[in-house]
Structure formats: structure tokens, C-alpha cells
Copies of this chain bind each other. A is one copy, B any other.
Amino acid sequence: MDIRIHAPLDMHLHLREGALLRLVAPLSARDFAGAVIMPNLVPAVDTLERLATYRAEVEAATAPHTFAPLMTLFFRQYDEALLTAVRPHIIGVKLYPEGVTTNSADGVRDLQRIEPTLAVLERLGIPLLVHGESHGFVLDREAEFLRTYTRWANLFPRLTIVMEHITTAAAVRLLDEYANLAATVTLHHLLLTLDDVVGGLLSPHAFCKPIAKRPEDRAALLEAALHAHPRLMFGSDSAPHPVERKEAAGCAAGIFSAPVSLPLLAELFARHDALDQLQAFVSDNARTVYGITPPAKTVTLAERPWQVPARYGEVVPFYAGQTLAWQVVEVA
């Protein structure tokens, strides 16, 4: 059996820089027609110049694949002139509360003070992408942040607010309450719960932010994905770290899922008799939410086993060494 997906999109991707970017970017560019590229580098992508340089680096690493880097700007209290100038070059602005995840030390401290900037984004029609976690207890961080989403969804009804990498049933419910809220969900949050991180042996390669939650949370996310909720988009949050930063006394958060995303999604949707919803989940919903037209690219997946490599360079991928039921067999 095989399926064709038109212009699959990864709406949340970490490509890093330098050698690591050159290692991982081609793997995304092979399978996807485009991806939303996260700006939390050190230093962050927060100027027109830095944006242009980073885009050029991504394009160099992903050529000759057909692949559109959908660039984002690291949220700061930019003025209207800057945002107007940058608008043609970005898909949105990515907001990190200070210190909530990798390379977010420079994020927003006071969420209310930035609302004038959100008003400018709304006026200019620039989507706001948000890492929505509070600084509370690890299991409550997303739930606590839902208050902020609710406030902004009410205050800025024409601002598209994307709740990135949602992990809870409560976030799925919130999605239904406000037409200006959208969300991404990762592959790993459709597959894992906290049991996979700390339930048996401790598993650094299943450790990510936000942390995987309870079985009922995963069930709600999966239900929404399998039914291709129109404002839920696939975003891998694929986030490579060298193995020595994962298997260590202090293990960095992040799962490198880019090279296995489409095969595992096909397997998951097939297992739930939902393959007919996969096109919407990995492409069409994003086109509608963002109003974008990705480059023409058709990816064919076949139900044919392959073994995931133990490593890509110094990076251990999700499902390392395991045999997957589906693989990408043609890209046209």
C-alpha cells in the first residue's frame, strides 16, 4: 500500500546552525515542502540582517531540495517600522517566556507589558507563535499558560495566535473556543506519555519541553490529529542535540524526529484507519491557518519496513535502531 502527500509541511522545526544545521536540514528538506524555522539561536534571530543570513544558511544546506524555509523572528518589543519591514520575510513572530526552554534566557519576562506589540502584530496581520508555558510546576506549565492564551484571544480577535507544541487535553479544548487560536502538535506528543520518559528506565531521548503528559492528554491530542481538527497543524519540534548533551548528568530537552516524522505519522494514522486525514494534518490545515501556498512537491510513502539509523552523525534520532512499517519511497 502507498499514499501520496502533497506539500507536507513541518510547522515547527529547529535547524540550529553551522555543522549541525548542515547535518539535519537536508533530512527535513528531503521529506517536506517547507517548514517553520525556529529563531531561538544564540544570539537569537532578531534583526533583518540576522534573518537574511540565517535564511541563506538554511537555503544553502537544503539545496537542491524543493523546500521553503518559513522564517520566524524572535519576539521582542519591535516597533511598527521594523515589523513592517520584516513582514514580507517571515511567517510569524515566535514568543518565548524567559527561560522556559532551550535558548530562551532572552525571552519575555512580563507578558502584560508586551501587549502593545501584540496590537501591532494584529494590525499588520503577522501571526504570533507562542511557547506557552508558565514558570510553575512542570506538569502545570501549559495549563497555567492557557489563561494567557485566553486573554490574548479576547484582546486581539484578529491576531492569529499559534499555541505551539500543545500537550494537554485542556489546550485541545481551548482550541475550540476561539477562532483566532491555532495549534501545532508534535509527533512525539501523539506517541509518548510521561511513562515513556520516567516510567521505566529514565529515557533522555524521550525528554522534551513541554514534557509529555498523561495518557488522557495524549488521547485528546491524538483524537484531534486523527480527525484533522482544522486549526491543528503538524509541527515536529524536531530538536537535535549531540549525544553527549543527551546522555549526561544534565540532559538537554529535545527529540530529533525530522527523519522519521512522515513514516511514523503514516504508521500512526494507518493504525487508526485515518490515512485520509493525514493530508489535512500535515499540510492543508497549515495552508488555511497561515494563508500560505507551499511549493509543489509530492511525497509518496509505502508500507515497506526500514530500520532507523542508530545515529545521524552525533545525533540520536527518535526511534533509533527500530524498524518502521512505512518509508518515503518517492519525492516528486
Given B139, B207, B215, which contacts A202 in the complex, CB threshold below 8 Å? B207
Say which one of A113-121, A122-130, A157-165, A242-250 lies at the interface with B.
Answer: A242-250
Check A203–B250 contact: CB distance below 8 A: yes
Cβ-based interface call for A55 (8 A)? no
Which residues of chain A from 313 to 329 have any CB-CB distance to chain B below 8 Å in the complex? Answer: 316
A139 partner residues in chain B, CB cutoff 8 A = 194, 214
Chain B residue contacts of A214, Cβ below 8 A: 137, 139
- A247 proximity list for chain B (CB < 8 A): 247-249
With A139-B194, A195-B138 already in contact, the answer to whether A251 and B207 are too (CB < 8 A) is no
A211 at the interface (CB under 8 A from B): yes
- In the complex, whether A61 has a CB less than 8 A from a CB of chain B is no
Q: Which residues of B contact A1 (CB under 8 A)?
A: none
Q: Are A199 and B250 in contact (CB under 8 A)?
A: no
Closest to A139 in B: B194
Task: Determine if A198 is an interface residue (Cβ-Cβ < 8 Å).
Answer: yes
- Specify which chain B residues have a CB less than 8 angstroms from the CB of A235 in the assembled complex: none
- Nearest-neighbour CB distance to chain B for A230, whole angstroms, equals 31
Within 8 Å CB of A252, what residues of B? 201-202
Main secondary structure of the interface of A (DSSP, over half): loop
Contact partner of A199 among B138, B193, B201, B246, CB < 8 A?
Answer: B138
Q: Chain B residues with Cβ under 8 A from A30's Cβ? A: none
A137 surroundings in chain B (CB, below 8 A) = 193-195, 199, 214-215
Tell me if A253 is interfacial: C-beta within 8 Å of chain B.
yes
Interface 1/0 per residue, A135-151 and B, CB below 8 Å: 00111000000000000
Q: Which of B198, B253, B316 contacts A201 (CB 8 A)?
A: B253
**In the complex, chain B residues whose CB is within 8 Å of the CB of A153:** none
Bound form: Cα–Cα A140–B198 in Å:
13
What sequence of 0s and 1s flags, for each residue 176-206 of chain A, a beta carbon within 8 Å of any chain B beta carbon? 0000000000000000011101111111110
Measured CA separation A249–B202 after assembly (Å): 8
Minimum CB–CB distance for A37 against chain B, Å: 24
CB distance A249 to B198 under 8 Å?
A: no
Residues B195 and A250 in contact, CB atoms below 8 Å apart: no
Query: How far does the Cβ of A248 sit from chain B's closest Cβ, in whole Å?
Result: 6
Interface residues of A (CB under 8 A from B): 137-139, 193-195, 197-205, 207, 211, 214-215, 246-253, 316
Residue pairs across A and B with Cβ atoms less than 8 A apart, 16 shown, are A137-B194, A137-B195, A138-B198, A138-B199, A194-B198, A197-B198, A197-B202, A198-B198, A201-B251, A201-B253, A202-B202, A202-B251, A202-B252, A203-B249, A204-B204, A247-B248
